[in-house]
Amino acid sequence: MLTLTNVSRRFGTTAAVNDVCLQIPNGQMVAIIGRSGAGKSTLVRMINRLVEPTTGRIHFDDADVTSLRGRDLRRWRGRAAMIFQGFNLAPRLDVLTNVLVGASLEVSQARRLLGLYPRKERLRAAEALDDLGLLVKALERAERLSGGQQQRAAIARALMQRPSLILADEPIASLDPHNARIVMDTLRRINRDQKISVLCNLHSLDTARAYADRIIGLNAGRIVFDGPPATLNEQAIAEVYGSANDGEAVTEMAA
């Protein structure tokens, strides 16, 4: 269970996230929606401590995430794997090596610097790529892959971390509708088959409704909606976006 208790993040006088309380059961797929600047990215990045909460506590099962330091914090970031809009791959390295970076906590720094990953980790990386339909691209430079392929490689890298939780920060924002569907199908399949919790920031209501078990709506850093997709009605949309007919609210990417 992921639990956020009165979590806030302030930048100067601005509250990017304001007194958020959440409980997310293990294995749930959650979409976080809201306007640009609503606090979606800040919220997700606080969960794995890329951004520090100003106030509040974050717990995962019995662990107090907000108190972790040093190696314990690095281990938590392994369990709470991040997937970014910009893929964050090393463009000139081959795809397999990019995926192996996800095994960094299980491989010494010296071996990582020399690219000397154990055979078992190379096999695990190859299996992850095969599962995501990218094994044939394993030895190609990451920069030669399409955007959708690069995002799937980033997901494979995240899986190498053996995560309990995947945090996806606008994972399809830079993709065309076809590749957006492939990436979201992939995240949903991982969620269902491996029982890994997925928190995914999304701009598209159609995508959130199609893939999520639960939708959380933010407005000015506060939760203004939290419920199953079927209950996200026009009134709720207006609370999240300010207008039920807002163009941003109904952007279609992957129905």
Q: What DSSP string runs through 87-124?
A: ----TTSBHHHHHHGGGGGGS-HHHHHHT---HHHHHH
Residue with tokens 């990953």: 117
- CATH code where residue 158 lies: 3.40.50.300
In-domain check, residue 12: yes
Residue 211 sits at φ, ψ, to 5 deg, of -115, -25
User: pLDDT tens digit string along 216-228?
Assistant: 999 999 999 999 9
In-domain check, residue 59: yes
Range of the domain at 82: 2-250
Chain CA centroid to CA 41, Å: 10
In-domain check, residue 79: yes
Res 121: pLDDT = 87
More confident residue, 249 or 57: 57
User: pLDDT tens digit string along 118-176?
Assistant: 888 899 999 999 999 999 999 999 999 999 999 999 999 999 999 999 999 999 998 99
In-domain check, residue 227: yes
State how far the Cα of 171 lies from the Cα of 42, in Å rounded to an integer.
15
In-domain check, residue 121: yes
State how far the Cα of 65 lies from the Cα of 236, in Å rounded to an integer.
31
State how far the Cα of 107 lies from the Cα of 114, in Å rounded to an integer.
11
In-domain check, residue 147: yes
State how far the Cα of 196 lies from the Cα of 128, in Å rounded to an integer.
15
- CA-nearest of 147, 150, 122 to 134 is 150
Residue 174 DSSP label: T
In-domain check, residue 100: yes
Res 250: pLDDT = 42
State how far the Cα of 159 lies from the Cα of 157, in Å rounded to an integer.
5
User: pLDDT tens digit string along 72-100?
Assistant: 998 999 999 999 988 889 999 999 999 99
In-domain check, residue 255: no
Res 130: pLDDT = 94
How many domains does the structure of the chain reveal?
A: 1
